């Protein structure tokens, strides 16, 4: 991953390059932004740039020994930390145990999200975390001298997934970092980090990708016609992953769409027995997937409410979703939209608190019977 491979984000790229050229590389930097805006690609490109032996004003050279090692993300001074699930028959699982899967996923694209990583790991119903053993491993690695004589770089993807003990140990590292060490924390929810960690990092806010940049990328790399690329870029809301999902609806999003449609129809028709079966099917999914489904539901409710205003510039739905919304949107209005959103938010909190998922989803489906008739 080079800077040239990162979609848009011109201002951030220029600032990172200027900092490196001016010798103002902060030892701890926090890349913040929404999903699919390019935080991880930027962090990897930046790590390559400051490790490059012959960087120029726009990018790493791509030819030096350091750049060649970066091609496979196998540079000895580059370390990754990311959420993992414990491997069977192993007490001390760390990120390095999943490096082959991690490199395999990033070889396809550095634009990834947590569901994609969970699937690559085969996490099933387990919730991924960054455990305290990881901080011990980081301390061990950073105690060694740089093998190439340059920076030792640690990229922490989704640091908000660290447990409390791990966060406290990382804080000590940030307070007293080893010489020529750079931490790049890549976060979607930085407010979940300890305030003391936030205060010890240089925050870099990464905005949504410009629509025209996504449009141009889709035309150049996916061969889309300009009209289709323009429509998809608009629906993506600056999230490149969302644009890809619109092109070829991912298996998970297709499942979420089908489950959402099924719930709305069953609730409207008051088919209690089928609703119970639907709840059992949802309960069989892992907690992370359940939470993502509820987030998807909130988006669909919000978009269907906006659909009633008949302004295409405000609508961010895929083609299949729009076809459904033509009939469903009239059922989402000012009398019930806040009630539905509140119920979804409450259900999400209960799932996070490990409340019985079957009860949570069946209770929500029953409430939808009442809410949907408020037409």
Pairing of strands 152-157, 78-81: parallel
> What is the rounded distance in angstroms from the CA atom of residue 366 to the CA atom of residue 268?
10
Q: What is the CATH number of domain 3-205?
A: 3.40.50.300
The answer, yes or no, to whether residue 249 has pLDDT greater than 70, is no
The answer, yes or no, to whether residue 45 has pLDDT greater than 70, is yes
> What is the rounded distance in angstroms from the CA atom of residue 38 to the CA atom of residue 298?
24
Q: What is the mean pLDDT of the chain?
A: 89
- The residue to which tokens 């209960």 are assigned: 350
Average pLDDT over residues 235-262: 83
Percentage of the chain modeled with pLDDT above 70: 97
The answer, yes or no, to whether residue 251 has pLDDT greater than 70, is no
> What is the rounded distance in angstroms from the CA atom of residue 115 to the CA atom of residue 80?
18
Percentage of the chain modeled with pLDDT above 90: 60
Q: Residue 182, class by beta-carbon neighbours within 10 Å (0-12 exposed, 13-18 middle, 19+ buried)?
A: buried
**Using 50, 70 and 90 to split pLDDT, how confident is the model at 36?**
very high
CA nearest to 316, candidates 303, 302, 305, 327: 303
Average pLDDT over residues 32-41: 95
* pLDDT, tens digit (0-9, with 9 covering 90-100), for 46-84: 999 999 999 988 999 989 999 999 998 999 999 999 999
| Helices and strands of the chain, counted as H and E runs | 17, 5
Residue ranges per structural domain of the chain: 3-205, 208-248, 250-372
**Using 50, 70 and 90 to split pLDDT, how confident is the model at 115?**
confident
- Provide the CATH topology of domain 250-372: Zinc Finger, Delta Prime; domain 3 (1.20.272)
* pLDDT, tens digit (0-9, with 9 covering 90-100), for 199-219: 999 999 999 999 999 999 999
pTM of the model: 0.71
203: DSSP letter? E
Residue 286 has what pLDDT? Answer: 82
Residue 15 has what pLDDT? Answer: 94
Average pLDDT over residues 156-164: 92
Asked whether 153 and 177 are in contact (CB, 8 A), the reply is no
The answer, yes or no, to whether residue 103 has pLDDT greater than 60, is yes
């Amino acid at each position: 991953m080079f800077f040239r491979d990162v979609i848009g984000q011109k201002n951030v790229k220029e600032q990172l390059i200027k900092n490196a050229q001016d010798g103002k590389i902060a030892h701890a930097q926090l890349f913040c932004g929404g999903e699919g805006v390019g935080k991880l690609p930027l962090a990897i490109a930046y790590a390559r740039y400051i490790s490059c032996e012959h960087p120029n004003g726009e990018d790493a050279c791509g030819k030096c020994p350091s750049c060649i090692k970066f091609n496979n993300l196998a540079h000895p001074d580059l370390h990754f930390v990311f959420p993992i699930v414990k491997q069977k028959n192993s007490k001390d699982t760390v990120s390095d145990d999943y490096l082959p899967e991690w490199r395999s996923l990033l070889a396809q694209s550095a634009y990834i999200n947590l569901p994609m990583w969970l699937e690559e790991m085969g996490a099933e119903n387990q919730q991924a975390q960054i455990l305290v053993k990881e901080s011990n491993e980081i301390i061990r690695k950073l105690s060694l001298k740089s093998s190439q004589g340059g920076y030792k770089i640690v990229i922490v993807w989704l640091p908000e997934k660290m447990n409390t003990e791990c966060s406290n140990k990382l804080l000590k590292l940030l307070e007293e970092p080893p010489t020529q060490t750079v931490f790049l924390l890549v976060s979607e929810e930085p407010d979940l980090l300890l305030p003391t960690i936030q205060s010890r990092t240089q925050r870099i806010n990464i905005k949504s990708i410009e629509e025209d940049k996504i449009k141009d990328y889709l035309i150049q790399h996916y061969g889309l016609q300009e009209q289709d690329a323009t429509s998809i870029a608009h629906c993506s809301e600056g999230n490149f992953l969302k644009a890809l999902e619109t092109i070829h609806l991912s298996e998970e999003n297709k499942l979420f769409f089908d489950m959402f449609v099924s719930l709305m129809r069953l609730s409207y028709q008051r088919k209690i027995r089928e609703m119970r079966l639907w709840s059992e099917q949802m309960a069989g999914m892992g907690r992370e997937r359940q939470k993502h489904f509820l987030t998807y539901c909130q988006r669909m409710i919000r978009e269907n409410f906006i659909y009633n205003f008949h302004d295409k510039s405000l609508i961010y739905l895929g083609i299949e979703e729009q076809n459904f919304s033509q009939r469903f949107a009239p059922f989402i209005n000012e009398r019930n939209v806040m009630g539905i959103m509140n119920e979804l938010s409450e259900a999400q909190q209960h799932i996070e608190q490990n409340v019985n998922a079957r009860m949570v989803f069946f209770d929500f489906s029953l409430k939808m019977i009442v809410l949907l008739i408020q037409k």
